[in-house]
Amino acid sequence: MNFIQQLHQAESLNDSLLCVGLDPEPAKFPVGWKGDAARIYDFCAAIVDATKDLVNAFKPQIAYFAAHRAEEQLERLIAHIKRVAPAVPVILDAKRGDIGSTAEQYAREAFERYQADAVTLSPFMGFDSVEPYLRYPDKGAILLCRTSNTGGNDWQMQRLADVPGQPRLFEHLARLAETEWNKNGQLGLVVGATFPAEIARVRELAPSLPLLIPGVGAQGGDAEATVRAAGRSGPVIVNSSRAVLYASAGEDFAAAARRVAQQTREQLNRARAG
Answer yes or no: 95 catalytic: yes
Point out the catalytic residue in the list 28, 52, 82, 95.
95
Strands of the 187-191 sheet, one edge to the other? 57-60, 18-22, 236-240, 211-213, 187-191, 140-146, 118-121, 91-96
Q: Catalytic amino acids?
A: 95
